[in-house]
Amino acid sequence: MTAQAAANTDIEPQMQTMRGADIVVHALEAQGVKTVFGYPGGAIMPVYDALAGSSLKHVLCRHEQGAAFAAAGWSRMRGKAGVCIATSGPGATNLVTGIADAFMDSVPLVAITGQVDQAVMGTDAFQEIDTFGITMPVVKHSYIVRHTEDLPKVIAEAFRIAEEGRPGPVLIDIPKDVQNKEADVELFAPLDHTRAEADEEALAHAADVIMSAQKPLFYLGGGIVRAGAVDEVRALIEATGIPTVATLQAQGVLPTDHPQFMGMLGMHGSRSANLAVQEADLLIVMGARFDDRATGKIATFAPNARIVHFDRDVSEIGKLRDANVGVCGELDDCAKGLMSVKPAIQPWFDQCMASKAETPNRYDAPGEGVYAPRFLKELSEKAGDKFVGVADVGQHQMWIAQHCRFSRPQAHLTSGGLGTMGFSLPTGIGAKMAEPDATVVSISGDGGFMMNIQELATINRYKVPLKVVVIDNSRLGMVRQWQELFFDENYSEVDLSDNPDFAQVARAFGLEAFTIRRADEVSEGIDRLLNTEGPVFAHVVIDPAQNVWPLVPPGASNAEMMDED
């Protein structure tokens, strides 16, 4: 270990003789890990033997997918790699969805899996699977550890790779014989991360292009959050006075009630945000990747705009839309380098604000039933700046993004790239454990909730004071909406009217629970949800016919938004 690396930790480098499983635990401690999420099994049993009595807090989730999501939830809040552990075979394959979700959303994660003894690898041994091969497309890097003495270096490298540059998941597959063998080793401190230096000439060119624009618009992506550049980007936006739109993953980079914020763009974005993009003469793209859900038909996206694209991952610049100026570098440095830029755009700013004022969200839905957008708006506002909304996937996910107030990006955790149902409950557990003082609310639809419902047992075991909301329309709502609009109302396999009484189920798992069915029950129900100590469950019943608006139809331009009227 280098003197520089040793200086990054209080651990003194020294040779020690340890069993491989003990090395894993001590190496995790050397990286500053306090909490791991997992589920034991045969091929990882030596590591679980070493965990007992260690300083690490192990959280026993009730499914390996839950462990992966919980670790990623911890990571999304802290910005550091979360850790999940599973055995070989089905244990490893159950992690794959969570690993892939982290890969798509650039979340740092270290996944440790057991593997059968090397002597029987390749023989179709009991619970043997090629974990390395299966996960290769959805990890940033992966290891099969062949020698016990390599464990400290591999684990230190895994954390560095997971966290530096564009973050992502790293897999460490450890055969059982490597876990059981003793070796003389030296623990590694956290390794230094490299930073991408922005090209000063490109940055100066970008500044010139911004200064010459008459209708510039900031287009914010989740890369800002992963780069830890939120404060610098906020300061830049406010210094320039330029109107701003954000992707699903960038909600909260600029507070959603900020006067310069136009809203989310894309398929379910605000009308004013999408129209501003279509009229802008310059898009200042920071940490975004021109995802199809944000751009709609890419050939008609921002047709009048030049592109200045900032990203720490050079592969994203020009991948889907040619950039007039591309700047690869750390986004905080890029933002600082543009602080003197102040284009003269008052007419454009006034036009954007007028458009925003003309298209406010409406909350005056008729009837006695619960109107989901109004419920979510009130929930986030009553929770205040401590609110963290952990969305599952479906209609409620879009309502959360559209109607909740987010004071920071960590206030909005959602599965963006993979769109994984079952995301919310375990992710909420990890998020609450990472930030105990936050008001973390897991918000699921009835479809997604059933996919990881077993994690209610995890909440009960550890008394995680998570607020759990299930918005129940007895349908696979987003699929039903598309079948209504684009498949001639052929409602194929979306009926969930045989759902159980979710409040009763939650009580069976040991949680306090109640049901909200009418609009006049909403305010009192939200107060009960937020003021109850410990975990609490709210079952919110809504009309199955409620749709998410606006909507950009598939294959259409973002200017061609469908609405309820």
Gap between the Cα atoms of 193 and 161, Å rounded: 8
Gap between the Cα atoms of 500 and 65, Å rounded: 23
Q: Looking at residue 3, what is its pLDDT?
A: 31
Q: Which residues have CB under 8 Å from 209's CB, separation 6+?
A: 282, 306, 308, 324, 325
C-beta separation of 175 from 17 below 8 A: no
CA distances from 437 to 152, 207, 361, 386 (A): 33, 40, 30, 8
Q: Looking at residue 14, what is its pLDDT?
A: 66
Q: Which of 18, 37, 64, 450 is catalytic?
A: 64
Mean pLDDT rounded to a whole number for the chain: 95
Q: Which of 80, 140, 153, 176 is catalytic?
A: 176
Q: Is 57 a catalytic residue?
A: no
Domains of the chain: residue spans and CATH: 3-186 (3.40.50.970), 200-358 (3.40.50.1220), 372-541 (3.40.50.970)
Q: Looking at residue 5, what is its pLDDT?
A: 36
Q: Is 1 a catalytic residue?
A: no
pLDDT in tens, 331-349: 999 999 999 999 999 999 9
C-beta separation of 521 from 511 below 8 A: no
Q: Is 126 a catalytic residue?
A: yes
C-beta separation of 548 from 481 below 8 A: yes
Q: Is 176 a catalytic residue?
A: yes
Gap between the Cα atoms of 473 and 541, Å rounded: 6
Question: Which of the residues in the chain have pLDDT under 70?
Answer: 1-14, 565
Q: Which of 18, 286, 450, 478 is catalytic?
A: 478
Q: Which of 121, 127, 484, 560 is catalytic?
A: 127
Q: Looking at residue 274, what is its pLDDT?
A: 97
Q: Looking at residue 15, what is its pLDDT?
A: 81
